[in-house]
């Protein structure tokens, strides 16, 4: 099986290559793809060397599966070209997520809906993925009424530029050179020793694109537009792992013991209780792990049928690369 990784030199692309090997995905030939500037670079994988090729060259090589992680512009132009030659495209950009004919897939939640005819499949936003995994079984058994979510998103969500800015600011702080001009800049404001309550651009309604992604993607994944979703997305000076504070209201009554029981049965999750060490999940705890970790579960004291929880996941793995590979695995299972 020929497998292409479009955006192979980026953070998510490199993670996809790593996890393909970890999960023993049946790759016979890896096709790393990047811009013309990166063509010819060597990607080492399974003790073999593969040269980075252009999109044009990758198309000629006829891959069976292509993981796209090179931005919306590339996906909009090239995903249909790959699909046209019979290559199944799993796209990590935002471009196809709201297209009605393209499925938005989190395997634990709606992987069963995939069909052989689905040639372009959208990978959801990282923050949406971990939230819907955590709420999946709760929604099936108690039915979601309202979600209020605040995110604490790491700089790796901004790619290599985000990591570079944080590293450079910390280095400048150590050296006492606070006025140094950053070589790369992902954010308009300092990120070290700071939090930025803006991810992506603002829309006319006062929300950011990232916040509205969580609203629209949750509706599409759960196939339920009646769920009231409101989000505040925040960038924090953490190098890996997104955290979310979630308040959820349900249509049905529950006991907190029932909530805990349902969460323990939810696929893809691990529950952390206050008797464990550490007593709650943190980004460092979730680093390089594929599960969605849930802790601080407690009943809302002032709102009926409501519960609070703290949800953490590695955004480069379950929030991006692992979820994409699980989609491909689901196809192999269904065929």
pLDDT by residue (tens digit) across 52-85?
Answer: 999 999 999 999 999 999 999 999 999 999 999 9
| Rounded percentage of the chain residues whose pLDDT exceeds 90 | 91
112 as an active site residue: the answer is no
Residue 182, pLDDT > 70, answer no
Task: For residue 24, give the 3-state DSSP assignment.
Answer: coil
Q: What DSSP assignment string belongs to 306-325? A: EEEEEEEE-TTIIIIIHHHH
CA torsion, ordered 60, 66, 69, 70, to nearest 10 deg:
10
**Tally of CB atoms within 10 A around 309:** 21
Q: How confident is the model at residue 177 (pLDDT cuts 50, 70, 90)?
A: low
Please tell me the predicted confidence (pLDDT) of residue 47. Answer: 87
Structure token digits, residue 279 = 């007593």
Is 126 in the active site?
Answer: yes
Find the length of the chain.
Answer: 335
The CATH number of domain 2-124+320-334, selected from 3.40.50.920, 3.40.366.10, 3.40.50.720, 3.40.50.2300: 3.40.50.720
Residue boundaries of the structural domains of the chain: 2-124+320-334, 128-315
Tell me, rounded to whole angstroms, the distance of Cα 191 from its chain centroid: 21
Residue 135, pLDDT score: 98
CA–CA gap between residue 133 and residue 290 (Å, rounded): 12
Catalytic residue among 87, 139, 242, 291: 242
Q: Of these residues, 84, 87, 112, 126, which one is catalytic? A: 126
pLDDT of 22 higher than 80: yes
Distance CA 147, CA 228 (A): 6
Which tens digit of pLDDT belongs to each residue from 229-281? Answer: 999 999 999 999 999 999 999 999 999 999 999 999 999 999 999 889 999 99
Which superfamily does CATH assign the domain made up of 128-315 to?
Dihydrodipicolinate Reductase; domain 2 (3.30.360.10)
Q: What is the pLDDT of residue 178?
A: 57
Residue 225 has pLDDT above 80, yes or no: yes
């Amino acid at each position: 099986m020929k497998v292409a990784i479009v955006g192979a030199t980026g953070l998510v692309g490199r993670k996809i290559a790593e996890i393909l090997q970890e999960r023993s995905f049946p790759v016979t030939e890896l096709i790393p793809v990047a811009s013309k500037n990166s063509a010819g670079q060597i990607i080492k994988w399974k003790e073999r060397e593969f040269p980075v090729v252009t999109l044009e060259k990758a198309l000629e090589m006829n891959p069976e599966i292509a993981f796209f992680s090179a931005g919306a512009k590339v996906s909009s132009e090239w995903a249909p070209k790959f699909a046209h030659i019979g290559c199944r495209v799993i796209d990590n950009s935002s471009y196809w997520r709201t297209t009605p004919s393209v499925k938005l897939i989190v395997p634990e939640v709606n992987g069963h809906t995939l069909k052989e005819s689905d040639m372009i499949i959208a990978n959801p936003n990282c923050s949406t993925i971990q939230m819907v995994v955590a709420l999946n079984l709760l929604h099936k058994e108690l039915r979601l009424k309202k979600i209020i979510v605040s995110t604490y998103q790491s700089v790796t969500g901004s790619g290599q530029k985000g990591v570079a800015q944080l590293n450079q600011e910390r280095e400048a702080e150590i050296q006492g050179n606070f006025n140094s001009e950053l070589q790369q800049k992902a954010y308009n404001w300092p990120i070290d020793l700071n939090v930025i309550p803006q991810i992506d651009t603002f829309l006319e309604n006062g929300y950011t694109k990232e916040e509205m992604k969580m609203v629209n993607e949750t509706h599409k994944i759960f196939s339920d537009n009646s769920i009231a979703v409101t989000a505040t997305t925040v960038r924090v000076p953490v190098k890996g792992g997104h955290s979310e504070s979630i308040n959820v209201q349900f249509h049905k009554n529950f006991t907190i013991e029932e909530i805990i029981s349902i969460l323990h049965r939810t696929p893809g999750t691990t529950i952390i209780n206050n008797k464990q060490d550490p007593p709650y999940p943190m980004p460092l705890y979730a680093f390089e792990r594929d599960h969605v970790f849930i802790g601080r579960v407690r009943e809302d004291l002032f709102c009926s049928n409501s519960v609070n929880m703290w949800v953490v996941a590695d955004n480069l793995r379950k929030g991006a690369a692992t979820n994409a590979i699980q989609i491909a695995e689901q196809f192999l299972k269904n065929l």
